[in-house]
Structure 1
C-alpha cells in the first residue's frame, strides 16, 4: 500500500512567497486523489507551535491550507519538531498496515520535508518524493529554487543501507505508474 504524507501544508506555513505554490498545491491534491483511488492512505502532518505563535493549535494559521481537499478517511498527525516521526503517532499509524512506499510532499523543503525524508529512510521505508510537490520560501543566502535544486541533488545521493532508497518523481510520473513503478 502507498501512504502519502502531506507535511505542514498549513495556512501559517504556506505563504504567497512560497516557490510555485499554486502548482505545488494542485500537485498535492492530484497525488492525494490518486493514492486514495489506489486504496492507499493519506496522512496530513500538522506542526504545532507554542501558545501565541502562528501555528498555535486551533488557530487560523495552524489549519490546513484552504486549497487542500482532505477526504473523510484521511488521517492527521500533529508534531512539534521538523521530524514527523519524533514523538508522534506516525510510526504507529504506519505499522497498522503494510506500507510498500511512503510518498512525501509538502512544505518546507529545507526543514520538515528534508528531516522527515531522512527519518523515513532511517525507519526502513522506501521513500518517493514528489519533486514538484514540495516548496519553500526564499532564504537570506539562497533562492527557493536553489534550495529545492540542492535538496533534490542531496536526496538522490544519500548514502543509505542496502534495500533502502529515495526516488524522486513528478506527480505526473506517480499518476502514470502502478504501485510497483511499472508503466501501466
Structure 2
C-alpha cells in the first residue's frame, strides 16, 4: 500500500445553492450581484491555481421544488462556470449528507474548503459544521454568502451574526477562518 504525503494544502471552492429557485421575487437575497461577482472572481483564481471549483445544487426531485434539470434547480445565469468545474447534487441542508462531495474531495486530496453560497443560516451553516466534524480546514468568505430576511433579523444581521459565530468557534482537528473576498484574493496571489 502506497502512502501519499501531502506537501501543500489542497483547497476547493464550494459554491452552495446559488440556484434560480433560491433567488426569486418571493425570496430576495442580500447583495446578490456582489456575492455572485465575488464568487466569479474566486472561481477564476481557483481555476488558475488548478484547485477545484465545486458547484453544489439542491436536488429536490419529487418535492415539487428544485426539481433536477428544471428552472429552479439551474445555477444563476450570472455565475461563470467552466467544463472543468465539478457539479454535485445535495439532498439536505448539509452538503455532505448522501452526496458525492466527500468522495470527490478525497479523490482530489482536498483538505481545505473555501465556502460561499446560499443560504447563510441553512445550507452554508450546516455544511460548515459538517466539514469541521470531518476535520477539514475551513475558510468562510465573509462577503461571499447570502440569505434572505428572517422574522426577527434582517439578512444583513443574519450574515453578520454567522460570520461572528464562525470566527469564534472552537474547531475539531481542522481550523476555521472567516475572511473577505479581498483578503482571500490577496492570500491566493502570494
Q: Which residue matches 2:12?
A: 3
Q: Which residue matches 2:5?
A: none
| Residue 171 of structure 2 is aligned to residue 160 of structure 1 | yes
Matches of 2:31 and 2:17, distance apart in 1: 16
Contact preservation (8 Å) 1:45, 1:78: yes
Residues paired across the two proteins, number: 179
| Residue 53 of structure 2 is aligned to residue 22 of structure 1 | no
Contact preservation (8 Å) 1:3, 1:99: yes
Q: Which residue matches 2:113?
A: 102
Contact preservation (8 Å) 1:36, 1:42: yes
Q: Which residue matches 1:79?
A: 90
Matches of 1:50 and 1:71, distance apart in 2: 25
Query: Structure 1-normalised TM-score?
Result: 0.93
Matches of 2:52 and 2:141, distance apart in 1: 16
Cα deviation digits, residues 23-56 of structure 1 (max 9, x gap): 0010000011011111100111000114362311
Matches of 2:24 and 2:125, distance apart in 1: 19
Q: Which ranges of structure 2 fall in alignment gaps of 5 or more residues?
A: 1-9
* Structure 1 runs, 4 residues or longer, greater than 3 Å off: none
Cα deviation digits, residues 99-152 of structure 1 (max 9, x gap): 242100000000000000111111110001111110000011211011111101
Q: Cα offset for 1:153?
A: 1.1
Q: Which ranges of structure 1 fall in alignment gaps of 5 or more residues?
A: none
C-alpha change, 1:142 and 1:37, in structure 2 (3 Å) is: same
Matches of 2:182 and 2:164, distance apart in 1: 20
Matches of 1:99 and 1:87, distance apart in 2: 19
Q: Which residue matches 2:185?
A: 175
Query: Structure 2-normalised TM-score?
Result: 0.90
Contact preservation (8 Å) 1:14, 1:107: no
Larger helix proportion of the pair = 2
Matches of 1:69 and 1:6, distance apart in 2: 11
Matches of 2:110 and 2:104, distance apart in 1: 10
Cα deviation digits, residues 83-114 of structure 1 (max 9, x gap): 00000110000001222421000000000000
